[in-house]
Amino acid sequence: MTGKILIVALAVQVISAVFFLADSLISIFDLRANPIDWRVKELLEISAAIGLLIGSALGAVAVRYVLAASNKAEAGIRVASGAFHEMMEENFENWGLSVSERDIAMLMLKGLSIREIAAIRESSEGTVKSHSNALYRKANVTGRGQLQSIFIEDLMDGGVAPRARDKTPVRSD
């Protein structure tokens, strides 16, 4: 519906603007062969001005509708983001991850390298690798890719993946 309102508003404003522009050009270049009655001209100008006002009002309604839809979408994204974080925490809890392993898992899921994670945590790369291996073992995956795939599956399925709940072994093909 918003698209139709915007098209109508734009059409009304363009027609009204064209009228005012044409009237000005006709007056400037004295192109009118037979002058029209002043009452007709005033009615045309009033109609064009009303058209501009209607177009502006319809445009304002459309902008209000678009802003409301945008706010609704942003609220949905915030809810989904919160639900995703809760799902991650639930998986971490099910796997029995330590605080360090949770931090490393979060940073891994964000795509940081072992070196970057070590720098952020102010620890050695060996320590990060050790926590990563413990994390993989507890999550029953063989590496970062499979860890990420658990959460991608959860996003696509809309819930916790069965493997993450029951720790069914992952087979690599």
Q: Helix %, strand %, coil % for the chain, to 5? A: 80, 0, 20
Does some domain include residue 156? yes
Query: pLDDT tens digits, residue range 61-114?
Result: 888 988 999 999 998 888 888 888 888 999 999 999 999 999 999 999 999 999
The tokens 């891994």 sit on which residue? 108
Do the domain assignments include residue 25? yes
In this structure, are 15 and 55 located in the same domain? yes
Domain interval for residue 21: 2-73
Kindly state whether residue 173 falls inside one of the protein's structural domains. Answer: no
Model pLDDT, residue 68: 93
Same domain, 104 and 143: yes
Total structural domains in the chain?
2
Residues 6+ apart with CB under 8 A from 32: 26
Q: What pLDDT is recorded for position 158? A: 59
> 167 falls in which pLDDT band (50, 70, 90)?
low
Residues of the chain above pLDDT 70, percent: 90
Query: Is residue 86 included in any domain, yes or no?
Result: no
pTM of the model: 0.53
Structure tokens at 40: 């007709």
